[in-house]
Amino acid sequence: MSNWAAPCPSTPVDATVDLPGSKSITNRALILAALADGPSRITGTLRSRDTDLMLDGLAALGADITYGADPTTVTVAPHPLHGAAVDCGLAGTVMRFLPAVAALATGDVAFDGDEQARSRPLDTVLDALRALGADIDGTGLPFVVHGTGAVRGGTVTIDASASSQFVSGLLLSAARFTDGVEITHSGAPVPSMPHIDMTIDMLQTVGVTVDVDPAATRWTVAPGPVRAVDWSIEPDLSNAAAFLAAAPATAGRVSVPRWPVTTTQPGAAIVDVFQQMGATTDHAADGLLTVRGPATLTAIDADLHDIGELTPTIAALCALAEGTSTLRGIAHLRGHETDRLQALSTEINRVGGDCRETDDGLIIVGDSGAALRPDRWRTYADHRMATAGAILGLRIPGLTIENIETTAKTMPDFVSMWEAMAGIAS
């Protein structure tokens, strides 16, 4: 680990940044390709620690994965699945999506990951798979799936209030279960519902029909084939959010090409948040999204329940805003790579800000950044914490960020891209 001197430009940022593919779409496409009825070609594949762990896990299970001259072009050919060892790292999509795939294998599949990952909640998805006929030892990392080549399926009731990934992890493999799956959610509202919408949209693309009840608490998938399709991955809008935030943070301009007109990525909602904080945005016909920051950022009161992954970016901007911001609906962030609410509060206060936790969010009192001072921003091995620190570093001369390498989880070239955006020569 190293302490990175975050760039602090003397003038407003003025840059165009071309972002790599979406992690969420990439990992879903990889799962569906491994379960399909023929080879699938995926272009624009994000190559990061999380997606490479997914690729490695599927290859270990038996999928045939080949790479083009461009490493973002990947062909996945399904083969009979067998026993393996799967390293989840800190990737929630690997530890929550692959167990259902492993249950379809013949043989034992052992899952483990980074030490920090062993505290992440997995019992919901593992208990659900047991109820559907899978044989699994353990309730969290490390655990072993004793694959028998098939899963009965049927009906199951779960509490997915801690993560939408519990639902998506079951839906992605459900059509390959003997009786399909009917999932009923019972509990507080599911967070990040747009990620479930993304899963359903991608399932429909491969010919799998998902029936959703009007209250969006029951999902039914009939058994059937998964059609092989070729995927073109959109830019990762959540990663883009941190770069675009440099515009409101510095009263500058940042543009991102290929911003989709319509998308299931929750990260698209960052545009509305920027506008609420006083920024102006323009989405050109060629897909170029441009954000221009105001002289002074406006505090906000926002329910981030469906876009929790954007919270670190938004919280950093709130610390630079004028007035009191309230961020609500994000209690589930306590179960991410770290307790993000506690981590954000601790680090914002460390650099002179005013942030306190509530039961389901944060209250941040900003003074346009006047009280902020340099210190070491800790990341807790969380890539979103690292990028939040980088945003604040644009306004705090001398701020250093611990373990900036953790950004490789979703964006291996983060440091060079951020420094280029800030006008710092490599």
115 is in an annotated binding site: no
CA angle at residue 357 from 352 to 358, to 5 degrees?
150
164 is in an annotated binding site: yes
Name the catalytic one among 234, 309, 402, 405.
309
Q: How many helices (H) and strands (E) does the chain have?
A: 13, 23
275 is in an annotated binding site: no
Residue 337 is a catalytic residue? no
Amino acid identity at 38: G
23 is in an annotated binding site: yes
340 is in an annotated binding site: yes
Phi-psi region of 246 (alpha: psi -120 to 50; beta: other; left: phi over 0): alpha
For 365-401, give the DSSP string.
EEETTTT----EEP-TT-HHHHHHHHHHHTTSTT-EE
Burial (Cβ within 10 Å: 0-12, 13-18, ≥19) of residue 207 = middle
334 is in an annotated binding site: no
336 is in an annotated binding site: yes
Residue pair 305/276 in contact by the 8 Å Cβ criterion = no
What distance lies between CA 216 and its chain's CA centroid?
21
92 is in an annotated binding site: yes
- Total number of residues shown for the chain: 426
Contacts of 267 (CB under 8 A, 6+ apart): 236, 237, 238, 239, 240, 241, 307, 309, 310
Burial (Cβ within 10 Å: 0-12, 13-18, ≥19) of residue 387 = buried
For 30-81, give the DSSP string.
HHHHHTSSS-EEEES---SHHHHHHHHHHHHHT-EEEE-SSTT-EEEE----
Instruction: Read off the DSSP letter of residue 156.
Output: E
What whole-number distance in Å separates Cα of residue 239 and Cα of residue 419? 15
Longest dimension (CA), the chain: 62
Burial (Cβ within 10 Å: 0-12, 13-18, ≥19) of residue 190 = buried
Residues identified as active-site:
309
Q: Residues comprising the binding site for 3-phosphoshikimate?
A: 23-24, 28, 163-165, 192, 309, 336
Q: Residues comprising the binding site?
A: 23-24, 28, 92, 120, 163-165, 192, 309, 336, 340, 384, 409
Q: Residues comprising the binding site for phosphoenolpyruvate?
A: 23, 92, 120, 165, 340, 384, 409
